[in-house]
Amino acid sequence: MTPTPTPRRPRWRSLALLALLLAPLLWPLQQLAERYYRDELIEQNRQTLDLYVANLLGTLRRFEVLPNILADLPPLRALLATPDDRAQQDRANRLLTRVREETGADVIYLMSPQGITLTSSNWDQQDSFVGRDFTYRPYFREALAGKQGRFFGLGTTSRKRGYFFSSPVRDGERVIGILVVKVDLDDAESLWGNTPEQLMVTDSNGVVIISSHRDWRFRATRPLDNAERAAIAANQPYPTQAPTPLQLDDSAWLIQSRALQETGLTASILAPRQLVERPVRTAVAIGAASLLALLALLGLLLQRRRHYIERIALDARAKRELEIRVLERTHDLETLNDRLKDEVLEREQAQQELLRTQDELVQAGKLSALGTMSASISHELNQPLAAIRSYADNAGVLLDHQRTDEARGNLKQISELTGRMASIIAHLRAFARRDRHAPESVALQPALDDALALLAKRRRALDVELIRDLPEATLWVQAGETRLRQVLGNLLANACDALSEKAPPRRMWLSAESTPTGVNLILRDNGPGFSAQALEHAREPFFTTKTSTQGLGLGLAICETLMRALGGELLLANHPDGGAQITLQLRHATPGANLAATEEFS
């Protein structure tokens, strides 16, 4: 069979040629981006310039009408009538100071028709205008001619820039004085933040008077003619009579200007063209990267197509080889099939053997459970049987002494104990079936007294001193009658066993305390206490520190299980003064029928 020819691989030189053909598309992208960002910057700067112009005009117009209003003040007119009156001058000075503070003007002053300042709001300062001659200022000449004067200039005394408004003070048709208000323009620059855009305000001569760029101040933005130079020399508006030209590179700035009506000023905002060039370069770079990504994607698609064609050819060859190998393997599979049949028969036999073994394990588990139950019944019935034996012996003695009433009481106790044994057997049978009876209200003291009565003879034989600290009021807990007495009997019996290993004196303490959630019954003895191993394993079935004839190791395990079934807890510890301490935590219950405590028998 003729082998499938390998397809020709695409050459990356074709992609490079395609990239060169698509590269001119970046030029219109650059033009569109430049036009977009330039228009966006121009619109943004136009809004900024409108806000600044509105603020500057608002400031100037606020002071424009102030000279006309102040010209009619009586103290000022009185001073013009008697310019040498010191008292009138003092009143006028203080009046202008108060007006300046209230209006926010820089300086307010009053001049005589001869141009001499008679009173000023800065009369008490080092650069006071009082007594100075300002006849060279154009605002003086305009006001003296009966017009409203306007003028920008650098103060020859204060060396501060300001815009001057002047108004004539008339007496009929005669001008008797000139009132001038100077507005500080330094605040107009402070409003401009630290931005790449620059602010520039020029006067009628084209000289920069306000600028966010300090080096541009009082520099000429255009050539000055002879008349303008002569006016500058006469009016002295700048710190120099020949302003230095301001050389601005038009290719580096986008300039927008706005003329301020009636003031002769022009506000301009200059934005560096870098603010347009930077995003344009970014847009072109993104476009170039997108073009490269497109070419790379195209190359990958071509590469994948080539791999796809190669994979088809490989699949065809693999299919032919597979057909040959299938024929070869068919015979092997037939042989393996016969072998697998034999293995299946062997596994079925092993499975049946496993089932028989599991049945035997289940039967062994049943026998183990039966042995545990028998041991539990033997352990739990041992104490009532011992009590019945004691009551029976006492009854025989009482009958010999003709004390029939007391003997009848012992027989009654024997009857109650046999009933209790039946209850214990029923309870253990129910416990083996995991049958949990609902807890009931049980009086704690009678149950404890009953358990103590069963062990009274043994306590006296061991000479155990019982110290009780139980409240007089009956404590009601949630438990079962038989289960609670069973737990108390086991714990008291274990305490007696522990005390039997100790030399006298032997003591046992019983105390109870109420908690927010229940009642804690504390049983303590002065015996040897728990060993570390006993504290760890005491709750486990068949663990015991006694000999095989003394116990089976089920007492604490059964108590632990019964307490958990009652919703309580059994805590084991050693008391700091020595001996074991066992705490039964039981839940509160509503009071029920009070049970009388069983008296100890002789």
Residue 172, number of CB atoms within 10 A of its CB: 6
DSSP symbol at 160: -
Q: What superfamily does domain 65-184 belong to in CATH? A: PAS domain (3.30.450.20)
Nearest one of 501, 45, 438, 61 to 273, comparing CA atoms: 45
Alpha helix ranges (H) inside 477-600: 481-499, 532-537, 555-565
Calculate helix-pair angle for 444-454, 274-400, nearest 10 degrees. Answer: 50
281: tokens are: 């370069």
Calculate helix-pair angle for 404-432, 274-400, nearest 10 degrees. Answer: 150
N-to-C CA span, the chain? 116
Q: Which fold has domain 438-587?
A: Heat Shock Protein 90 (3.30.565)
The half-sphere exposure of 25 on its side-chain side, counting CA atoms within 13 A, is 12
Nearest one of 427, 523, 547, 445 to 482, comparing CA atoms: 427
Pairing of strands 219-220, 244-245: parallel
pTM for the full predicted model: 0.44
Distance, in Å, from the CA atom of 13 to the CA atom of 20, rounded to the nearest integer, reads 11
Tens digits of residue pLDDT in 523-565 = 888 888 887 777 776 666 655 665 444 445 566 777 777 777 7
Distance, in Å, from the CA atom of 34 to the CA atom of 588, rounded to the nearest integer, reads 85
Domain with CATH 3.30.565.10 in the chain: 438-587
Per-residue pLDDT at 91: 92
Per-residue pLDDT at 167: 92
Domain with CATH 3.30.450.20 in the chain: 65-184
Query: What is the rounded (10 degree) CA torsion for 515, 519, 524, 529?
Result: -80
Would you call 339 helix, strand, or coil by DSSP?
A: helix
- Residues 543, 548, 554, 559, CA torsion sign: negative
Tens digits of residue pLDDT in 45-67 = 888 888 888 888 888 888 888 89
Per-residue pLDDT at 546: 59
Instruction: Please list the ranges in the chain whose pLDDT falls under 50.
Output: 1-7, 9-10, 358-359, 361-373, 375-376, 427-428, 430-436, 547-551, 594-602
Per-residue pLDDT at 110: 93
Contacts of range 409-414, beta carbons closer than 8 Å, 24 or more positions apart: 409/601, 410/601, 413/387, 413/601, 414/388
Alpha helix ranges (H) inside 181-251: 186-190, 226-235
Buried b (16+ CB within 10 A) or exposed e, 241-266: eebeebeeeeeebbebebeeeebebb
Tens digits of residue pLDDT in 387-400 = 888 888 888 888 88
Per-residue pLDDT at 433: 43
Q: 134 with 95: CB under 8 angstroms?
A: no
Per-residue pLDDT at 328: 84
Residue 266 to residues 45, 207, 394, Cα–Cα distance (Å): 15, 10, 130
Per-residue pLDDT at 364: 46
